[in-house]
Amino acid sequence: MKNLLSWDQTLFKDPELFELDHIPEHFLHRETQLEALQYCIRPALGGSRPLNCLCIGSPGTGKTTAVSKIFEEIEKHTSRLIPVFVNCQVNSSRYAVFSQIFKKLIGYSPPSSGISFKKIFSEVARYLAEHEKVLIVALDDMNFLFYENEVDEVLYSLLRAHETNPGARIGVIAILSDTGVPHILDPKVESVFLPEEIKFPQYSRDEIKDILSNRARMGFYPNVVEDNILAKITDHTFSLGDLRVGIDLLKRSGLNAERRASRIIAPEDVDFAYEKSRLVHLSYIMRSLKKDEKILLGLIADSSLANSGELYEKFHSKTSLGYTRFYETLNKLGSIKLIDADFTGKGARGRSRVVTLRYQANEIKMRL
């Protein structure tokens, strides 16, 4: 009976360590990337504009965490720099991005309507010039600005602010998930952006094991996660290439063991947890979809093999939206790897496409 937990006991010493947005105190295996970020920011400590940089890599390779760590340090050690972290999944327009910056600088959100972008922009630029502050804006998940065709406007406004307000110094850290689809900027934006590129490669199996072992040691009480369990979770994580899967798997496996009133995690706890944890990326992406994007995804989930013409007819009758918006939405769902849309060579000019889901239809519907 000694292996059984009593009702008020827990396996978790520090459950916060298993939350996906937790910023770890010891951020392992990303020293090179942190040094590169520090190098880009250093000029701002002397009052100059920082170097722009582009953090690029697959999802779950530590890009967001690395920038968050650097921003934590800035907040702690200097008031000369103002770091603003913008989640572009949620704030995917130029107005929304600048509203977040305005809120951080001025202390309250601008009205959501009735005030022009120009007014918000000039308030931001004037504040920086008058207070002699340097602004560093992190655009997390910048992919979403590309999907909404807002990226050139956002970057151009940020990087040319000093032309209208000479004292306004702004640097940009772009965080971009490498989806295999090239993201092209307007040449006039490219010429002022000129970022230092910081690559975030996939973690190796040993690095994943080291990171998960560290989380397990600090987050659980002793002996909850045995070596064979850690190896099993490491294998699952490495095969999917996303560290978030492993962290979520530790958490869910621990909860499953607690449900059984066990003091240790068993292989079946991991197996049971894996069904949900492997879809952590899917849940994360689907939370950010707009209403019409969800409608189109639902239509694709309802038909096993749909061609784009049939889908458009259904989409139009449900939303009244035109073909351009349909085409953009289809491309976005493909870019974020929810669907495959392959040209068949048939239809007008050979542009008909067969659209298939990358996940099980029921997994999609459950999250819709």
Q: Is the dihedral of CA 166, 169, 174, 175 positive or negative?
A: negative
Q: Residue 281: pLDDT band by 50, 70, 90 thresholds?
A: confident
Residues 89-120 pLDDT 10s: 999 999 999 999 999 999 999 987 789 999 99
Q: Residue 181: pLDDT band by 50, 70, 90 thresholds?
A: low
- The domains of the chain, with CATH numbers, are 31-200 (3.40.50.300), 203-283 (1.10.8.60), 290-367 (1.10.10.10)
User: Which DSSP category does 220 fall into?
Assistant: B
Nearest 10 degrees: CA dihedral of 294, 299, 305, 310?
Answer: -120
Q: pTM here?
A: 0.87
CB within 8 A of 52, min separation 6: which ones?
Answer: 40, 159, 171, 172, 173, 174, 193, 194, 195, 196
pLDDT exceeds 80 at position 280: yes
Please report the pLDDT score of residue 346 as a whole number: 56
CB within 8 A of 211, min separation 6: which ones?
Answer: 28, 29, 203, 243, 246
User: Tokens 């969800």 appear where?
Assistant: 294
- Please give the average per-residue pLDDT across 271-284, as a whole number: 89
Please report the pLDDT score of residue 93 as a whole number: 94
Please report the pLDDT score of residue 1 as a whole number: 43
Report which of residues 281 and 301 the model is more confident about: 301
CA dist., res. 240 & res. 50, Å (int): 35
Which of 3-12, 50-59, 169-178, 349-358 is least confident?
349-358
